Structures are given as structure tokens and as C-alpha cells.
Structure 1
Amino acid sequence: MSRNHQSRAKSFLLASIVLPLAMLATYDYLSAQRGPSDRSGPPAEALKACAKKQENDSCSFRTRRGERSGTCFSPPDQDELVCQPASHARRGHAFRQPPTRRHTVTQSNGAALLVPATEQPIALSIVTDDKAQKWRVLRSNGIARHLTGKFPNAGNPHRISVQQHSYRVPAAPQLTGGIRNALGQVFGVAVNGVVFDPGANEFYQGDRSSGWQYEPLRNALNMGLDTNHAHVQPQGAYHYHGLPTLLLDRLNVSAQAHSPLIGWAADGFPIYALYGDPENIGSVIEMTSGYRVKKGSRPSGNGNPGGTYDGTFTRDYDYVQGAGNLDVCNGRFVRTPDFPDGTYAYFLTRDWPVIPRCFKGTPGPDFVRRSRQR
């Protein structure tokens, strides 16, 4: 064999070894702990590593080839912080993001189709509620003490996993005199440690700036909600979009008595469900939303969906003063068994928004949005 041919053969052999090794390292990083539906996005462990951190904080996570250390960063088209290993940052690599879903559906014909809750919890539910100076600290592993739907499913490709939730809410909440929009962040935490997170990261034509956000409680899009009106985020967090049916059953919520405490809102005020009485602890009425579907047609063109207002989008609803007995944030001042002298409180309602979409107080510092779910 000529010297020239020998040189070419050595180069080919070297490439055949180095290239697969490089590909293997990249695959290992991108595929660590990743579910079947997440092949085009960051691995679940990289998401969890930054779940309670700020951008540019140091982070680390484990892959099949060892520990990876890096920095939390915010990829384009994703609201969730991701741990990017330093080696990838140096090479200019970043996580590949899934394409923005460009939905064009403009009408729905009823409530969301729900997946039966048939699955046992994957672990024991762990919840603590402690007061530390000015904070009430809510910690949990995010596992509900009730049956859930089967995940992944056709509408939600993620698998429930144990979380490390830790949220501070004000121990002595105060009304600010104003209203703070809750869309885009967790609203609160249920007594079983599962979060209330009513919004969906789905927008008309994939354009978040349009404001035409799809409502998960309608059936315009299949989001895989189970009979607890809940599903799973990419990092494995099970969360409620509507009435937590089996939680309410466990707590014996009924029309014969004032609702027990259901959870705590991010601003520290209590959350109840369906039944109470603003004036008399001993009597019970249903607490009702003042929101109604707008009449007429939506604007069309310039990124607007057109079509008839029917509840497909969150913008299809408007608050009508006096239409219900709750305010614009689905709350009011009430006397409850937990607060006999009275408190401002939020209520989960039978009709939209079900879970409130705004705050009357100031949310705790741990409720800054770190993840959006489908």
C-alpha cells in the first residue's frame, strides 16, 4: 500500500472512532432522563436542575456518563430555565427547542374530554406547612393523595415524577388595593402539595404576544387532562388546571357545609372551593364566578383568530359586575371556620375561571414562573 493510501486509511480510521464518540457524548447529554416525547428539547434532569434557581446561577445534573455542571439559562421560545453544561456553552451548543406549535383552531364545542383517573400515586405524598418568621413555607414532593390519569397519554406526553416543591407565601397577607395578573405563573398550592397552575402554554398560531391563549378547560385542543382537570409538565410536575375532583372528594366538600381549606394562594390568602357564606359561617351558599363569555365575534386579521366568542381562548371571557357573588379575582371577604373573624379568600368555582387568574395581594418570591406546560 502506498504511503498516500496509508495516510488516508489512518485518517478514515481516526474519524470513524472520534466522530461516533462525539456523537455519543452529545446524545448522552441531550437524552439524559428524557421521555419519548421530549427528543427535541432539553432533558428532564436539566430542567429540574434549575427549577428553583435564577438565570446565570450555577447548576448540575447527572447523565448516564456522569455529572454535568454548568449555568442556568433561558432558551428562546421557552419560559423554563435549563441547566446548560459549561462544555456546551464553550462550544456554542445549546439545547434544540421544539418548534412552536402553530394552532389555528378557533372554536370548541364543549368542555375538555377527560382521561379517567385510574392510576395509583407513584410514591407516598409528602407535604409540610411551616411558619418561618414572615413566611408560611409549603414543601411537597408534588404527589397527589388520589388517583390520577395515565401519563403519558395522547394529549400529554409527560410522565409524573417526584418533585421538590418549596414555596413561601406571606404568613400575614395584605391586600394591596390593586390587582396583579396571575397568568403565566403558579396561582397557589393545594393542601396535598400539588400546585394550581391554570394557564396553558398554547397560543393561536404559536404567537404568545398575541394574547390569544387557549383555555385548557375547553376541548379546542387535546391537552390530556384527567378527571382532576390536571396533567403533567415536561419536568414531571402534576398540576391542576381546574377543579381537583378527587381532592375535593377526599376533603368531603359538599353543599351541606362550608368548604374546608383547599390550599394557599401565592399571596398568602386561603383558597376554598364552591361553598361558603360571606356573612354567616353556619349557612352555606354556592360561590359563583362573575365571568361570562363575550357576545359577538372576535377580531380577525393581524394575528387575531376571528370566529365567535365561545370560551376557546382566555380572552373570550369578561367580568360582569354583579353576575356572580365573587370579585374579578374569584375572591371576597368571608368568615370561615379557619378564620371566624374574617379574611379575604379565593374560591374555586364551578364555572370559568374555576381557578382564579389574578391576585389581590403580593405573591411570595418563589412563585416566579419557571416552567410552562402544555
Structure 2
Amino acid sequence: MQLEYKQKLIKNKEGSIISPIGFTAAGIHTKVKRKRKDLGVILCDVPAEAAAVYTLNQIIAAPLTVTKESISSEGKIQAVVINSGNANACTGSQGMLDAYTMRDTVAKHFSIKNNYVAVASTGIIGENMPMDKITPGISQLVPEKSSEAALSFNESILTTDTMMKSTCYEVEIDGVTVTMAGSAKGSGMIAPNMATMLGFVTTDANIANEYLRTALKEITDETFNRITVDGDTSTNDMVLVMASGMAGNDSLTPEHHEWENFIHLLKQVCEDLAVMIARDGEGATKLIEVQVTGAYTDEEAGMVAKSVVGSDLVKTMVFGSDPNWGRVMMAVGKSGVKLDPNKIDIALGAHTLLLHSEPTNYVETELTKYLNNDKVIINIHLNCGSGTGKAWGCDLTYDYVRINASYRT
């Protein structure tokens, strides 16, 4: 989406998932996990306009089925409950019953309609839910509008993550401040499209769910669908957006004169969360950003970027600080897009390796030094058109194998 943004976004460094008007949150430890908090909730004062995108894996966890049902009912969600430590995936009819029990228990606890509750789970696949811990835990959830409550929620959704992932921005629309914030988890089993991730976005913007859904789908393709860690797509992936409408702006539609400001806001929040997930890949030591220009279309530029950042050989090249640019060239070529193999430029940061597919007189020691940074940018110019695109990932390390070899034990 090439749009001209009329207003500058303001990053709220102290903001969190509860910063938009109308939202509170909580997170507690129910002992599903040994130590960290493992059950959280986001609650809105009113039924919020809602939209979501889900995993493309054909094996879909029970909570996603229940959430789809809730949103499709009226397009509104007032509460979302999330547990970590157990994915409630591949658990058959009992898993569906447990997901419905979570939804119904939350609805009763907060005195809201069942179809106003979304459910999300993350953790081990194939084990029945410990409902003897989760059900009574729900009754202990007391959402608050405080930084402590937001941090507790952020912790409650993590699995193998090494850090919490949260962001918040503000922008002026119709003369009022509109706030949007996001919180996410994700570290492994991350691959386009989507990732083994849960993303939650709250905003006080006034927007109908049909327009929110359209915006989220387009922006997901440019953010969450542009990250990869290991090439695997999970059964539980979901990004959910809730809009309370309490900021007081006129209802947003694509015809609204400041629609692009809302799109900018949503894209920045989603991109922040996506990059944090890529940076926190299991065992990762470096963030990889691939920037592609000169493709025939933006879509094809994105395909090239995803191909490069998803290549295990490129990932290990970055991990080993080995400027083996042939691996980048290989990944460009297997992307499936139309290109001229004799016109490709490649650079690592400011260090040019190829010009029109001819090697330059680069200094290898300088490239190695650059690859030792904790963020590596690979620039690729196809010199074919005006299409641009980005993708994000991380290096592939020995620790990735160690973490996943002992995930259950």
C-alpha cells in the first residue's frame, strides 16, 4: 500500500495493550507452567469491533475454531482469554469442549455474552488441557488499567520467548487522538504465512469490523506474513484486533479523508510486533532484514525478500559471519518471480557485493565485521521495475536445535 500519510505517528514509549480508551488486562500463574504466568485476559468496557486473521495450516487448534465462531456472530469481541503452556491442538472433541468451557467461563465471570469472547492457546500440541487449573484460574482474573497489569498479561502469553513484545502509537484523526497498541508472542515455528504467534491489537478508533477486517488482511501480508524463523507454520496462529470506538473520531472507512493515517497506525504496530518476533527467534543472535527494490511489483519484491530471509543457508551464513553472497543469489533465483539474472545488485548494509550480477572489489574482512552486528540488512536491487518489499528473520544457530530437541522435557 503506497499511501501518503498526513499525520506523523507518535510512539508512546510507556504505552501498552491497555493504553487505548476502554481496555484493561490481567495475567496470572495457574501452575500450567512451572514458574511464569500462564493465563491472561484483555477486557473492553464495551463490545469492540473485531477482526482476526488465522493460520493457513490445515490443522487448526480448537480455540481458533471457537474464536472464528464468536467473531462471525456479530463482528464484536469484548474479552479475549489466552493461556500458554498448552496449545489445545490435536485434542479432538475434548479439546473443543475445553475451548468452549473457557469461553463460557469467561463470559459468566465478566457478565458478557458468550459470543463476545475470543479464546487463544499456545504451547505443547497434543496434550489435553489442564482444565482443573484453567477454569478456576479464570475466576481469579481481575483486569486493571495499570502498567503492572499490562506486564502481567504480556508475560502470561509467552512460551519459549526470551522477551515480551509490546508497542504503542498515537495519531490524530478528526482532531482527536487515536491510540493503538499491540502485544504478541512468538519465537519458533515461525514462517510465512503467519507464524506460531499470537498477536493482539487494541485501539480506541471508531471503525466498523468490515473495514477493520480489510485493513488487517492487507497489512498482515506486509508484516506478519513477512517473517520467518524456521519454515514451520503453527496450528494456533492468530492476530486479533479490537476497536472500542471510544476515541470519538468519525467512523473510519476507505473514503474517510484520514483513512491513510489509520492504515499507517495499524501497519506500524503490526510491523513492530513482527520484527520483535523475528528478533526473538529461538536461539537467535541476529535479526536479518531483507530489503528488495526494483522488482516488477510490490508483491514480487515481497516474495524475493521472503525467499532470502527464509533460506537456511542464508541464515547460517549470517550466524557464521561468512559473507557467502552466493547463497543470497541462490535464494533470489528460487523465489519464483520474473527477473533478469544479469541485472541484480546485492549489498550487505552499505557494503556492495554485486553490481548488475558482477562481483565488486569488496574487502571480505569488512563484510565479516558487518555480519558480526546484531542486525544485518541485506539489500537487493533487481533493476527491473519499481516494486519494493521487506521481510524479517533471524540466524539459525546451534541453540535452535537444543531448544526444540528438549521442548517437552
Q: Structure 2 length as normaliser, TM-score?
A: 0.27
Higher CA-based Rg: 1
Q: Going by fraction, where is helix more abundant, 1 or 2?
A: 2
Q: Structure 1 length as normaliser, TM-score?
A: 0.29
Q: Going by fraction, where is strand more abundant, 1 or 2?
A: 2
